[in-house]
A and B are shown apart, each in its own frame.
Chain A
Amino acid sequence: MDYFLELFLGGLTRGSIYALIALGYTMVYGIIKLINFAHGEIYMIGAFTALIVAGILSMLGWNQVLILVIACIVAVIYSSAYGFTIEKIAYKPLRQAPRLSALISAIGMSMFLQYYVLLAQTSNFLPFPNLIPDFKFLEPVEHIVRSSEIVIYTVTAIVMVLLTFLIKFTKIGKAMRATSQDRDMAMLVGVDVNKVISVTFLVGSATAAIGGVLIASHTGQINYYIGFIAGIKAFVAAVLGGIGSMPGAVLGSLVLGMSESFFTGYISSDYEDVFAFLFLVFTLIFRPSGILGRDDTEKV
């Protein structure tokens, strides 16, 4: 039973990590129907920025929790700025262009950002300080679940609630939903589509940045390539849950994380990725729009 619980919590950790990144993917896709390949890099830049800030502040000897908060805030600011800029340069000019062109532009941006960080910083793995303090009350179960994992679960849940609130109950959320349904119509009724798209990118990137800081704290190291790998997995998770749907992104991430964890725990780690992809294929065969995806009826 203990083993099962450990695997379950491990899967929950994985799923939450994927979820934090998948949410950004799904938000952007919902608005402009673009697979933002560069999203993983925004997550990576968030982690790097946090490392730099945390490095400076810890050398100055500041309080650990304060460092965490400030690093998060700065990472969020910078990631959002990068997301905003990327949208303006690489995606906005291609709004009327064929979808594939925008995709290639995203791929180019992803490459550019990876090598930008590689050249500006280093190709080595950099140790990331554990910014999340170990909670005293968790001591007895430290070997089953760590405090950083609890923080990750909580933050993911909070972020999901906040985003749902944003989409459902705020004015800008309404504008986002309108733009996502029918962009031209939204423009006609007076929605500032450019602003809405920019806000979407800002929010999505902010989520990724938070994810970056937390996951970097949890795994203890970062390098310029982590965005690509995490990005692909998160993208799979988003599609699994139904791309364009936020609860779908979270659900898909959890399902993916859990299945990977249990597969590794009970069968083998060798084929865990194969299993994850096969799982995806079979799900899509029976539910072609993902688990929670809306079946968009195509009008002729």
Chain B
Amino acid sequence: MFSFNEIKKSFLVALWFMFLTFPIMVIRVNTIYKTIEWRWERMLMVGIGAFFLSFLWRYLRKRQEAGQKKAEPGETESLPLTQRLITDKRFSVPGIVAVSLFALAFPFVFSMYQTNIMTTALIYVVVGLGLNIVVGLAGLLDLGYVAFYLVGAYTYALLNLHFGLGFWTVLPIGALFAFLFGIILGFPVLRLRGDYLAIVTLGFGEILRLIMENWNEFSSGPSGIANIPRPGFFGIELSLHQNIIWVYFVMLAMAVFTIFVVRRLQDSRLGRAWIALREDEIACQAMGIDKRRTKLSAFGLGAMWAGMGGAVFAAKTTFINPASFTLWESIIILCVVVLGGMGSILGVICGAMVLILLPEYLRAFSEYRMLLFGAILVIMMVFRPGGMITAVRKTHQFKGLKDQQSTN
């Protein structure tokens, strides 16, 4: 690894990066005060950093390429480590018990602030699982998913503002509205594929946000709606701390409910139809699956979860405005699904945890937070394109005639 060739390569890479970042890193021009600031030490840092990182990069890439050799036909493909852990009863059962205990005890062990963040992460789990239906299972690239999140949040805020309806009453209404909006979105995009679909969904998300921003009479526009009440605890008044804990448990229950339902959907006929749609649209049609119904149900059912998540978001933050529902949010939710592992429920949960908890804990780095975040996204994708936890289709081993003959 440290042969002359390698060192030469890294040296050239270092030189290239020093050249590349020269204007932006090194020079700072101030046209008003007519000064030029030269910061040569930065160039040195870039050079040295690039030199060492290139070694690391190449080493990791070589390892990755070596590990990608596919199994010979005839052998059973060895499942990745995580899948083996999950399916093995000796690990999964105690694992689930441990996680459940941790989740239940969490708000009592950790501070209010941590609980608040964990609640946000749980909201993203629910929303991520919803997008997982659309993107992971059905393979429909949706870049405007935040629209349904917005629908859920504003449904609660507006119904509460105008009619005084409480959280529990509005939650199913919000889910229903989101479902309807999902179907409405689904109709125009039935014929579209791939990136055209992506752009239209993006447009849909933006349209909804812009309407909320501009139609003041309806939605209070950019000033948003404030003083949204938190979910009621059997009508008893709670202190702030208790409220936060209560919202946490509400969200935990909702997350468990979502996981349960999505799991059942995945294994159902509809779920298999979605997977068929993702794999090969034309073949799926040839097999007799109604493409229209499948797509619409994917959009609608997927949107429902975002609607519910949105309602809880409104209740938790007590103040919403259209600026919380930008394209960027859609992208974050998409990252949760892809980073975690498309199509895999456990993957989405992990993705949500990492993506939400990481920036909070990276607060220490404050300024470099977003920079690291972008870098981590790229690195994760390059080294694990399937996401953290790859989804494995349920396979049934067919033992074959050999066994039958032996029993004869």
Direct A–B touching, Cβ under 8 Å: yes
B141 interface contact, C-beta 8 A: yes
Q: Is B74's CB within 8 Å of the partner chain A? A: no
Asked whether any CB of chain A lies closer than 8 Å to the CB of B55, the reply is: no
B196 nearest CB across to chain A (Å): 6
C-alpha spacing A283/B222, complex, angstroms: 30
The answer to whether A280 and B200 touch (CB under 8 A), given A51-B29, A94-B381, A274-B210, is yes
Least Cβ–Cβ distance between B51 and chain A, in angstroms:
15
Specify the chain B residue showing the minimal Cβ separation from A123.
B367
Chain A residues positioned under 8 Å from B95 (CB to CB): none
Give Cα A101 to B199, complex, Å. Answer: 17
> In the bound complex, what is the Cα–Cα distance between A121 and B28 (angstroms)?
7
Mask for A222-262, Cβ within 8 A of B = 1, else 0? 00000000001001100100010000000000000000000
- In the complex, whether B254 has a CB less than 8 A from a CB of chain A is no
Q: Which B residues are CB-close (under 8 A) to A126?
A: 31
B377 pairs with A100, CB closer than 8 A: no
The complex places the Cα of A90 from the Cα of B374 at a distance, in Å, of 11
Distance, CA A110 to CA B327, complexed state (A): 14
Contact: A104 with B24, CB < 8 Å?
no
- Assembled-state Cα–Cα distance A78/B27 (Å): 14
A185 interface residue, CB < 8 Å from B?
A: no
B135 interfacial contact with A, CB 8 Å: yes
Shortest CB-to-CB span from B337 to chain A, Å, is 8
Chain B residue, CB-CB nearest to A75: B23
Residues from chain B with a CB closer than 8 A to the CB of A90 are: 378, 381-382
Whether B192 and A288, one on each chain, are in contact in the complex, defined by CB atoms closer than 8 angstroms, is yes
What chain B residues lie within 8 Å of A104 (beta carbons)?
334-335, 338-339, 377, 381
Which residue from A48, A97, A273, A300 sits with its C-beta under 8 Å from B23? Answer: A48
Residue B349, interface by CB 8 Å? no
Question: Which chain A residue shows the least CB distance to B141?
Answer: A100
**B289 CB-CB contact with A under 8 Å:** no
A55 within 8 A of partner (CB): yes
Measured between beta carbons, the chain B residues less than 8 angstroms from A235 are: 199
In Å, the complex CA distance between A74 and B20 comes to 11
Convert B368-406 into 0s and 1s, putting 1 for each residue whose CB lies closer than 8 angstroms to a CB of A.
101101111110111001110000000000000000000
Contact present for B385 and A108 (CB under 8 Å): no
**Which B residue's beta carbon lies closest to that of A109?**
B378
Shortest B364–chain A CB gap in Å is 16
Annotate B158-193 by CB proximity to A: 1 below 8 A, 0 otherwise: 000000000000000000000000000000100111
Stretch at the interface among A81-89, A167-175, A199-207: A81-89
The SS class assigned to the A binding surface is helix
Complex contact B211–A274 (CB within 8 A): yes
Tell me whether A281 and B280 are in contact (CB under 8 A): no
Contacts of A274 in B (CB 8 A): 206-207, 210-211, 214
B245 at the interface (CB under 8 A from A): no
Q: Choose among B36, B141, B196, B367 the residue that contacts A59 (Cβ–Cβ < 8 A).
A: B36
Residues of chain A within 8 A of B370, CB atoms compared? 111, 114-115
Cross-chain contact B34 with A89 (CB below 8 angstroms): no
- Do A285 and B283 touch across chains, with their CB atoms under 8 A apart? no
* Contact present for A105 and B141 (CB under 8 Å): no
Which one of A78, A98, A285, A288 lies within 8 Å of B342 (CB-CB)? A98
The answer to whether B203 has its CB under 8 Å from any CB of chain A is yes
User: Are A119 and B207 within 8 A (Cβ)?
Assistant: no
- Chain A residues with Cβ below 8 Å from B233 are none
The number of chain B residues touching the other chain, given as a range, is 35 or more
Shortest C-beta distance, A234 to chain B (Å), equals 12
Cβ B29 vs Cβ A55 within 8 A = yes
Inter-chain contact A82/B20, CB cutoff 8 Å:
yes
Residues of B within 8 A of A284 (CB): 188, 192, 196, 199-200
Nearest B residue to A279 via CB reads B203
Shortest C-beta distance, B377 to chain A (Å), equals 3
Task: List which B62-102 residues lie within 8 A (CB) of chain A.
Answer: none
Q: Does A58 belong to the interface (CB within 8 Å)?
A: yes
Contact B29 A108 (CB under 8 A): no
Contacts A35-B198, A100-B135 given; does A273 touch B206 at CB 8 Å: yes
In the complex, A33 Cα to B194 Cα: how many Å?
10
A113 to B373, CA, bound (A): 11
Q: Which of A35, A271, A273, A281 has the most CB of B within 10 A?
A: A281
Q: Mark A62-89, 1 if CB is under 8 A from B, else 0.
A: 0000000000001000100110010001
A114–B24 Cα distance when bound, in Å, is: 12
A239→B286 CA distance, assembly (Å): 29
**Are A298 and B24 also in contact (CB < 8 A) when A94-B385, A105-B382, A107-B335 are?**
no
B195 and A243 form a contact (CB under 8 A): yes
A115-B371 contact in complex given A85-B20, A120-B25, A127-B31, C-beta closer than 8 Å: yes
**Given A288-B191, A300-B283, A89 and B371 contact (CB-CB distance below 8 Å):** no
The verdict on B249 contacting chain A, using a C-beta distance below 8 Å, is no
Residues of A within 8 A of B32 (CB): 127
Q: Counting CB contacts under 8 A, is A129 at the interface?
A: yes
Q: How far is the CB of A127 from chain B (nearest CB, A)?
A: 6
Indicate if the CB atoms of B335 and A236 lie closer than 8 Å.
no
A53, CB-defined interface residue at 8 Å: yes
Residue of B with least CB distance to A82: B20
Q: Which residue of chain A lies nearest to B42 when distances are taken between CB atoms in the complex? A: A120
**CB of A2 closer than 8 Å to a CB of B:** no
Residues of A within 8 A of B211 (CB): 271, 274
B-chain residues with CB within 8 Å of residue A53 when the two chains form the complex: 23
CA distance A290 to B195 in the complex (A): 11
Interface status of A117 (Cβ within 8 A of chain B):
yes
Q: Is B246's CB within 8 Å of the partner chain A? A: no
Q: Would you list 18 pairs from A and B whose C-beta atoms are within 8 A, ordered by A residue?
A: A48-B24, A49-B24, A52-B24, A59-B36, A90-B382, A101-B386, A104-B377, A108-B381, A113-B374, A114-B374, A119-B367, A119-B371, A121-B28, A274-B210, A277-B204, A284-B188, A289-B196, A298-B282
Question: What 17 additional pairs, Cβ within 8 angstroms, besides A117-B24, A300-B282?
Answer: A33-B195, A56-B27, A85-B17, A90-B378, A93-B61, A94-B385, A112-B378, A115-B371, A116-B24, A120-B21, A129-B31, A274-B206, A277-B204, A280-B200, A284-B192, A285-B191, A288-B196
